[in-house]
Structure 1
Amino acid sequence: MQLLTATFAIAAFASSVSAHATMFGVHVNGQDQGDGRFKYIRSPPNNSPVKDLASPDIVCGPNGGRAVSSFVKAAAGDKIEFEWFHDNRNDDIIDGSHVGPIITYVAPYTEGNGVGSIWTKIAEDGFSNGVWAVDKIKRNNGKQAFTLPAALKAGKYLIRQEIIALHEGDAAFNAVPARGAQFYPSCVQFEVTGSGTVVPTQNFNFNTGYTYSDPGIVFNIYRTVTSYPIPGPAVFNFGAGGSAPVSTSPAVRLTTTSVAAVRPTTTSVVAVRPTSTLVTSVRQTTTTKAAPVTRPTRCPGKKRRTVVVVKK
């Protein structure tokens, strides 16, 4: 118990030294689009997290409702990298204790704060092979990559990427306000070109879709972790155009696959009917075999006359 308390104390101290993160800019197919803060990124006033799931700030941050003047221009199918940092570009990005997933969503462009059922998940990375998404972004100089789905319809969008830090996620914020998962959301204005036709329609709402009963939001990292359930819906399937390559926890991928696998099972039920016919024919065979063994053959008076009738 004392060891556990000490662990929590260390985590709380790590949080107190502002080991936080914020977004700096965007790269399109490897091309740096420059410092995007307050230009094409609806940047927050500082790198502090959001913890209240009922707050509109959980969507795009404290400045989420302030539209900025520019848009990142990219084509559907392009490789996109969002670049994060801690205090300065190319620094330590985020404290290593702040492990957790990185998730990316898209919504039709709005000058509002993004609140409402308008979001669709296009990429996610959680925990796999003992490595958290936060570990990867630190190794990659603050860059988190995803692909704009090739089938995405041209137009203006908000693309939201978040880091969820779980170092205090062992308790729910609404129950223990001193703790709770830390959300670092950032929304970028995009103008997408291309011949895609798919309008994302997952209609996810952060204020109702993220809850304090979500096992991916209230999650204890101070134990042996073998898997992690990424919050929110599954990554949206854009169909023939393909969706963004993603890295997910095994639990999420299995759930998504199992839904698709159920459909063929329904077809196999239809195929069972011919099998019933085969069973009927077996019963007839059994009756035929029983005939030669009919007890009247033991009666010499009836000889084979009875047997002949049965064979007919």
Structure 2
Amino acid sequence: MPTDIPKKNPDVYGLMAFSLVCLVSLSGYMVAEAKSITVTSLYIEGAPQSVVFISDPHLQDKNIGHISNAVDIINSLNASVVLIGGDFVNGENDNFTLQEVWSKIDAPVYAILGNHDYHSGINGINGQYKMLDVATETNRTVEGYDMSPLSADTDTSDLDFADSVAGVLEDNGVNVLRNEYVTLDINGTSLRVVGLDDGWAGMADPPYVPESDDFTIFMIHEPECRADWDANLILSGHTHGGQFTPPFVQILNENGIIELSGYFDSGTPLYITSGIGSSPLFGIELRYESQPEIVVINPSSPIEGSNVVYA
């Protein structure tokens, strides 16, 4: 007897086709978002005008045009000083000549190094181990601050590589702060910038900073490596804003349950930028609801279309 062969429901094919269209559209959206740049105007009483902060450029051959565009935007904002929060490289097959892009910035530039600049926590699940070790093995109090246990991780940081990154940056006009501070005069307002070396690499070691009425900014790449230092503001990057932030993640971030991006005031005020570049997946830069970001502290004039945050 002939056996009845079940017919496939044509609705299944329609659903598959619709799903494929959605996937392609979503992928296209994420590629486009990774190349777009948003500007955030952060207003803080007492801070100098037009202090620009970016982080995580992750310079590669594929994104040099995007980073060059970011530099053009920074120059259009009449920055008084530019602060960069680390991760200048992506950690594999790095082309140091790309760092010449920073010489195009029309303002003094001060920076710190990030974990990628040390090859620290960038392979496999080592990053997850780093986060666990920060929580369990380190001291993040002001009095006893100690990140050195992370330097003994099996994921050994490449100190020579970090020195090379810092040297190339200095050659291109970037003043790299490695556990040191500078005091700047910004149009008559004194700004003190304290730059911590990378936390995940176990190299962060806060310098002695005398008391002062200067507006003081601490920079440390990983926000989880900070302490409640005596500062007006801490600036961090590292998270890429989550890079992919569906609505439920945004809600957790907005309520301070997790810290991925934006302004937080549960201790020393903190701003985490979503970064200007991103870590590519399979060689493709992707973001979802987490645009690349340039932060301008106290812009000298309103910036049309910017996101406005009041501290």
Per the normalisation by structure 1, the TM-score is 0.21
Q: Give the greater-gyration-radius structure (CA).
A: 1
Of structures 1 and 2, the one with the larger relative CO (CA 8 A, separation 6+) is 2
Per the normalisation by structure 2, the TM-score is 0.21
